[in-house]
Amino acid sequence: MLDFLGDLKRTHMCGALRASDAGEKTILMGWVNRRRDLGNLIFVDVRDRSGVTQVVFSEERNAALHEKAELLRNEFVIAVIGTVRLRDTDTVNRNIPTGEVELVADELRILNEAKHPPFLPGDTSLANEEMRLKYRYLDLRRDAMQFNIELRHKVALAIRDYLAAQGFFEIETPFMTRSTPEGARDYLVPSRVQPGTFYALPQSPQLFKQILMIAGFDKYFQIVRCFRDEDLRADRQPEFTQIDLELSYPQPERVWETVEGFLTAAFRAAGHDIKTPFLRMDYDDAIRQYGIDKPDLRLPALTEVRDCFTPGDLAQLAINQDLPVVAIRIPGVGELSRKERDDIKPMFVAKGGARVFEDFKRVENRFPETGARVRQKSGAGADDLIVLVAGSAQSGKDDHPAQKRKVTPAELAIYASAGLLRVALGQKYAAKHGLFKRGDYRFLWVTNFPMFEYDDQDKRWVAAHHPFTSPHDQDMDKLESDPAMVRALAYDVVLNGTELGSGSIRIHRQDIQRKIFHALGMTEQEAKSRFGFFLEALEYGTPPHGGIALGLDRIVMILAGAESLREVIPFPKTAAAKDLMVDAPTPVTDLQLRDLGIQVKKK
Ligand code: ASP
């Protein structure tokens, strides 16, 4: 069908023509982005993934060709052979890279017609998201999506190149496997050959990468799809992509250096230079300073201001004297109206007995000296918003199993409530404080997490990470006697309030792995039936090892300045876990179900 090209090769993409190409005969192939009919002249912008070039059909020059050009409609696929010509100075378009030239057409082929599409790639206003996802192939033709998908490619390539140069092998692991405990529900695949049995799609390649260490591949990575059936949010997808890696004989610092190295390469591929090494912060400090384990360092930290109050002030305000009083400061917010102040209260999610004082002016009016001390200690200027979070007078004393921790559960409740409000206020007043600048990337490592969390409902300790995470050597003896105080050799890498990834040094001894399963309330039998193969593998000479996994989609989303993962995943799912383009999931035929030995209950 492209016989007409003869020996002429496609040497130019539509977005590549420049003034220096003037005089050249060339061919452009692409979509009709726009057609303007000026009577004896027809202008057609031809588009491909590199951009657009204006093509001119002149009646005077070639009447038959001009007539054919009248047939062109948006999104027709065409080939135009012609000569590149400089535009007159007054018609140069400075807004596009090809704006100095145009192609004067000598020949036109309509390679394919197009129905009038529900929306056009060149539309200035965006179609609603359902339409965009249903007609994803049209949506992907838009400049912004072409940019995002190219960015994703470049970022992934830079990471692969970096890791390969560091001696990592990319090794595939199965998608049809068994459950991996990352804390979500599994997607299951029924087996036809063994009716009544199921594969699980991996929530991560965790056990396989550890087995690859046992198998002697001491530096592994994989840019890999993971599957988790959980409630979706803007930054979650049922299938998502991780940059997964594992090393033998690492100290945590070796893992961190590797991640800092590939992130540097990835950000550079997107045109940004980042500074390494990243800041490192203990979990306890992150909680005390930011009230959260994924601090956004662009906003001021919390300030502990209890010592600014006299015991009398605290009593009058019904504030607990033994618990922290923290000030949230959001710079440059200015005077708030009554309504704006009232709007803060519903934003506050009180944990434990935490209370909010959203009207700092009232506190200041009542206790001017105290107010001045709070302003001074938190470094607040006259325009800064201050909100206080404290414990209510009756909260505090408790005999919680985690009471001995550096940050007690009652303190944690206050810090965590303040931390969430700080983030919410930071977002709400972003335009006022102006601290969320594009390209301002504040990375950090959060380390030394507690090994276990106490489940208040079930009254038992649960793993804070997956159960292959190693405790600190010094804490091994507390596994059974004092689980609250056991720290994990786990770490998260955080960027601007988003957790990009998490990892850990692993347990490499079978006896300790058993102990951890036991401490998590798993019986010997359960451990054996779920992870017997792994416990056995650990007995055949397992090197110490550790690793991490980072979300590729999130990294690209941040680099693209996008609001949702769907903007950087070519074929994403909706919040209801649907693919609107192919219309999945769907019911299957009775025959398929019978083959699988499955009966579906009618609702
Ligand atoms: N498997 C973990 C996850 O997916 C990461 C790791 O520990 O390497 O979050």
Q: What is the pLDDT of residues 206-244, one digit of tens each?
A: 999 999 999 999 999 999 999 999 886 656 899 999 999
Q: In this structure, are residues 109 and 68 in contact, taking their beta carbons and an 8 Å threshold?
A: no
- pLDDT of 235 reads 65
- pLDDT of 463 reads 86
Can you say how many angstroms the Cα of residue 54 is from the centroid of all Cα atoms in its chain? 38
- pLDDT of 397 reads 57
Q: Which residues of the chain have pLDDT under 50?
A: none
Question: pLDDT (tens digit, 9 = 90+) per residue, 135-153?
Answer: 999 999 999 999 999 999 9
User: Would the CB of 500 count as within 6 Å of ligand 1?
Assistant: no
Query: How many CA atoms are closer than 13 Å to the CA of 569, on its beta-carbon side?
Result: 24
Closest to 328 in 3D by CA, of 297, 362, 351, 305: 305
* Residue 51 backbone class (left: φ over 0; alpha: ψ -120 to 50; beta: rest): left
Phi and psi torsions of 518, nearest 5°: -65, -45
Phi and psi torsions of 110, nearest 5°: -90, 110
User: Would the CB of 222 count as within 6 Å of ligand 1?
Assistant: no
Phi and psi torsions of 257, nearest 5°: -60, -40
User: Would the CB of 503 count as within 6 Å of ligand 1?
Assistant: yes
- pLDDT of 164 reads 98
**Residue given tokens 């918003």 in the structure block:** 385
Q: Which atom of ligand 1 is nearest to the CA of 180?
A: 1
Query: Considering only CA atoms, which residue is closest to atom 8 of ligand 1?
Result: 548
CA of 305 to the centre of ligand 1 (A): 38
| Helix, strand, or coil (residue 377) | helix
Q: Which atom of ligand 1 is nearest to the CA of 242?
A: 4
Neighbours of 4 (CB within 10 A): 11
Provide CB contacts within 8 A for 170, sequence distance 6+: 160, 163, 164, 220, 221, 222, 223
Can you say how many angstroms the Cα of residue 579 is from the centroid of all Cα atoms in its chain? 19
User: Would the CB of 206 count as within 6 Å of ligand 1?
Assistant: yes
- pLDDT of 234 reads 57
